[in-house]
A and B are shown apart, each in its own frame.
Chain A
Amino acid sequence: MGVTAPTAGVVSVPSLASRAVGATLELVVFIVIAAAFGVIDYYLDAVTGGLGVSAFWISFWAMAIWSAWCWPAAQRFASSFSGNHIAMLDGRPASTVTIAAREFTRAGLLYGLPLLAIETNVVPVLVLMALAGVFISRTAGRRAPWDLLAGTIVVEDFGGPATMIERSEVSSVADLQLDELRNRRNAVARRVVLSLGFTSVVVSVLIVWNIFSEAAEFFSAEDFSWSSLQGIGWFPRRGIFDVWTLFIGTLWITGIAIALAGPVGLGVAFYLSEYASPRVRQIIKPIIETLASIPSVVLGLFALSFITPQVLQPLDDSIGFASLLAAGLGVGILTVPIIASISEDAMRAVPTELREASYGLGGRRVTTSLRVVFPAALSGISAAFIVGISRAIGETMVVFIAAGGSGGAVLEYDVRQEGQTFTAAMASLGAGTDSVAGVGIAFQSLYALGALLFVITLMLNVLSDTIVRRFRQVY
């Protein structure tokens, strides 16, 4: 028959035996280099302690850097030396960067990991290596893990034509089937990607299980009593866990943050969606997004060093170094871009026809914005506010830095005073963990708070998700 089908492109993969010889030679070189460093080190007054693990580390790095050399001539030299070269799976010659990445991975897996195992003397690394070993034996002779990572294959006879697509006669159905290597790769990829997707499920389960089991330990501990949940304030080290104090603090912080971020974020969203020309929008949007990328520690510092002395103290000199008000405003700045961007998305999702109908009836821009776009986007905007609230409740560092109350907090309704939120209380507990570790159940209260926080934010997120999904169905 004249019909031919392409089969696997590359032939003549080096045999296992020749690879084993090469690997042994390499190991010898590795040990010789390490020994050389050890000897040199010995005569140089033992900086790293003679022939220790550190000498092997030096040798490892030297080899890794040498074999991962990106200089084409060096790679050609190395491959002519070993009598084979590295190609891509389909037979094209691999680029120098790919070869370097493959060689570096190889050096790391073959020499770095065992060193780490010896150095740290741990079972898990050995288990990891055993798994890698199983992997190698499964793909023996064809592709090692580093080849799989870099998408390469080792080919014998450097210098010959890299690709040779052989065409064979089609005589049965089997000849028309997909090449086995490609088929297997496809199946493996599917499984790998699915298991990667499951990491999020694993993480969720770990969070829920850890936090709630530790929280249960807190509530069932011997020195815990329900009456300790009420008191003059939150003083975990003295066994006073007045949750109401933290609740009031959280309420204030969130309230102030939304009072600032709500109007500003909504105004920005209206401007960007209804008033700004595309060019103006292109300039304004990145600046607002810059606000979102400022780390929260920096905003905490800003609350301390700017908001308190420059804004608040001139208005009311009874405000001290740290206050709930300053922290709330700091959190508010952090919330502005969240509310602005989600509300803007919601407003832009409103169909243009609605606006045109409004203009056609003689509606002004302000009327269109407030009476047509706003109601139509209301569900999205409320979702934006819920996400903003959830973020404000979960914000830690601004409050930890700018609201004071590190050792605990007295129940305080006045925003000009120091206070703590759920998150800030957790941060203080966490920051002082070493000194708390022996102090009864104080440390466990960290998990109780974490569980509470997790439930609150989860509920808010589910709520906003539900609203958004309903709002999507409208259009």
Chain B
Amino acid sequence: MHDRQTISLDSLRARRGDDAAGRLFLALITGAVLLAFLMVGAVGVDVVAESWDLLSNRLWGFLTSPSSADAGRAGVSQGIRGSILIAGIVILTFPIGIGAAIYLEEYANDTWVARLIQVTVRNLAGVPSIVYGLLGLAVFVNGLQGITGGRSVIAAGLAIAVLVLPIVIITSAEAIRAVPAPLREGAYGLGATQWEVIQSQVLPAAMPGILTGTVLGIARALGEAAPLLVIGAVGFYTTGNQDFVEQLRGAFSALPMNIATFAREPAETWRGHAAAASVVLLVLVFLINLVAIVVRARISKRLGR
């Protein structure tokens, strides 16, 4: 006869209640989640609280007036204009990213060309943003001065477009990879050429995912300040009436530049300006997200899914 340990239900229940390590672990990781929530909440509340005075008193003036050394009159109109122009230039380069993603997913075999492109895209995604500023300074500001006009919003937009490129490529490639193979095979079976398959089946099916990637890209482009610093965006500047070309090729600002400049002012009053500019930037990013959600919903509806 050998020893037999009897396990009663009661003892099991007791052990469960006794699970101190389990409860401690759960408490720790719940704490981590709560802390992360707290970070999101604190950033939001802090930014709104700091900017409340300014935004409730002169919201319109802040949005429409140019920068000024007088805190009571300073605004971010130039920053908003610069940010929108930069986003516009970035959007113009999205076809390049989507095209590269199409190549990687639809055409690339396991050749050295494809591997080279893949490796460079992955590495570019990890390069710090300020390095793209150096690239922009060398290539777009000095090299292509004839087109960009030097330290201009075109140069900044192009530098940021290059920065966003790997993000767009990677997310678009993921979206294209997720398109089910039968969709392609059906089109091939009907006699479509490879490009027709891509154009009529793959791209529409991948469009919602590609859109998500591009929106991530625009959001990144709007918030990025480090390359602008190197390229030479201006936090404060006064201008007369510029026409459109002068705006594109002359001195420029952008919302994140405004925030950085305001925030580094030692005087307490400018803190509110920085926070208010942050609110404007966050609202802008939110609006772009909203547009993407609506467009994505419309595309999905059209595809009947």
Stretch with Cβ within 8 A of A (4 or more), from B63-71, B141-149, B295-303? B141-149
Q: Is A200 an interface residue (CB 8 A)?
A: yes
Name the segment of B54-62, B179-187, B190-198 touching the other chain: B190-198
Contact A406 B196 (CB under 8 A): no
Selected contact of A197 from candidates B24, B36, B104, B243, CB within 8 Å = B104
Which B-chain residue is minimally distant from A293 (CB atoms)?
B219
Say whether, besides A124-B144, A263-B32, A297-B223, A365 and B22 are in contact (CB < 8 Å): yes
Quick one: closest B residue to A215, CB to CB? B134
A426 to B226, CA, bound (A): 9
Interface presence of B14 (CB below 8 A): no
A333–B226 Cα distance when bound, in Å, is 18
Q: Are B22 and A450 in contact (CB under 8 A)?
A: no
Q: How far is the CA of A462 from the CA of B127 in the complex (A)?
A: 11
Q: Is the CB of B230 within 8 A of A457?
A: no
Residue pair A295, B225 in contact (C-beta under 8 Å): yes
User: Chain A contact residues (Cβ within 8 angstroms of B): what range?
Assistant: 35 or more
| Contact residues in A for B144 (Cβ distance below 8 Å) | 124
| Contacts from B to A (Cβ < 8 Å) | 19, 21-22, 24-26, 28-33, 35-37, 39-40, 42-43, 46-47, 50, 95-96, 99-100, 102-104, 106-108, 113, 116-117, 120-124, 126-135, 137-139, 144, 146-147, 149, 162, 165-166, 169, 193-196, 198-199, 216, 219, 222-226, 229-232, 243-245, 249, 256, 259-260, 263-264, 266, 271, 274-275, 278, 281-282, 285
Query: Min CB distance, A387 to chain B, in Å?
Result: 7
**Interface residue ranges of A284-330 to B (CB < 8 Å):** 284, 287-288, 290-291, 293-302, 304-306, 321
* In the complex, chain B residues whose CB is within 8 Å of the CB of A393: 128
Asked if B47 and A298 make an inter-chain contact with CB atoms under 8 angstroms apart, the answer reads: yes
**CB-defined A-B contacts under 8 Å, sample of 7:** A203-B120, A203-B165, A298-B43, A302-B43, A336-B39, A458-B127, A465-B122
Interface centre among B36, B43, B102 (most CB of A within 10 A): B36
Q: How far is the CB of A150 from chain B (nearest CB, A)?
A: 13
A158 close to B (CB within 8 Å): no
Q: Quick check: B134 and A294 within 8 Å, CB to CB?
A: no
* Minimum distance in angstroms from A343 CB to a CB of chain B: 11
Contacts of A300 in B (CB 8 A): 259-260, 263
Distance from B230 Cβ to chain A, minimum over Cβ atoms (Å): 3
Q: Tell me if A473 counts as interface (CB < 8 A to partner B).
A: no
- Contacts of B99 on A, CB cut-off 8 Å? 192-193, 196-197
Q: Smallest distance from the beta carbon of B48 to chain A beta carbons, Å?
A: 12
A394 B129 Cβ-Cβ under 8 A: yes
Would you call B33 and A284 a contact (CB within 8 A)?
yes
Complex: how many Å from CA A59 to CA B169? 38
| With A196-B96, A196-B99, A298-B282: A120-B226 Cβ-Cβ less than 8 Å | no
**Whole-angstrom CA separation of A49 from B285 in the bound complex:** 39
A264 touching B194, Cβ below 8 Å:
no
Determine the distance from Cα of A426 to Cα of B227 in the docked complex, in whole angstroms. 10
Given A297-B259, A305-B50, A453-B130, answer yes or no on A431-B229 (Cβ-Cβ < 8 Å). Answer: yes
Which chain A residues border B275 with CB–CB below 8 Å?
A: 301, 305
Contact A401 B260 (CB under 8 A): yes
Q: Please name all residues of chain A whose beta carbon is closer than 8 Å to the beta carbon of B121 when the two chains form the complex.
A: 200
Q: Residue B230 contacts which of A116, A119, A365, A427 (CB distance < 8 angstroms)? A: A427
The reply to whether the CB of A409 lies closer than 8 angstroms to some CB of chain B is: no
A133 to B107, CA, bound (A): 29
Q: How far is the CA of A193 from the CA of B62 in the complex (A)?
A: 44
Q: Which residue of A lies closest to B281 (CB)?
A: A295
Asked if A190 CB lies within 8 Å of chain B CBs, one says yes
Rounded to whole angstroms, the CA-CA distance of A435 and B133 in the bound complex is 18
Q: Which secondary structure characterizes the binding site on chain A?
A: helix
CB A429 to nearest CB in B, in angstroms, measures 8
Query: Which residues, 427 to 474 on A, are CB-close (under 8 Å) to B?
Result: 427, 430-431, 433-434, 446-447, 450, 453-454, 457-458, 460-462, 465
Interchain CB contact under 8 A, B123 and A461: yes
B12 to chain A, nearest CB (A): 10
Q: Does the CB pair B30–A271 fall under 8 Å?
A: yes
List chain B residues, Cβ under 8 A from A151.
Answer: 199
A 43-72 binary contact with B (CB < 8 Å = 1; else 0): 000000000001001000000000000000
On chain A, the residues within 8 Å of B22 by CB distance are 364-366
CB <8 Å contact, B29 and A200: no
Hey, which chain B residues are within 8 Å of A57, CB to CB?
Answer: 244
Told that A190-B194, A206-B139, A297-B256 touch, could you supply 11 new A-B pairs with CB distance under 8 A? A54-B243, A124-B144, A193-B100, A199-B165, A267-B32, A267-B35, A295-B224, A295-B281, A297-B259, A365-B22, A461-B126
B240 CB to closest chain A CB (Å) equals 14
Taking a contact as CB atoms under 8 Å apart, the answer to whether B149 and A433 are in contact is: no
A54 to B127, CA, bound (A): 42
Residues of A within 8 A of B95 (CB): 196
- Which listed residue, A196, A298, A340, touches B278 by the CB 8 Å rule? A298
- Whole-angstrom distance from the CB of B74 to the nearest CB of chain A? 16
Residues in A neighbouring B219, C-beta threshold 8 A: 293
Contact between chains at A423 and B130 (CB < 8 Å): yes
A385: min CB distance to chain B, Å: 14
Q: Can you name the residue of chain B whose Cβ is closest to the Cβ of A178?
A: B193
**A295: B residues at CB distance < 8 A:** 222-225, 256, 259, 278, 281-282, 285
User: Within 8 Å of chain B (Cβ to Cβ): is A167?
Assistant: no
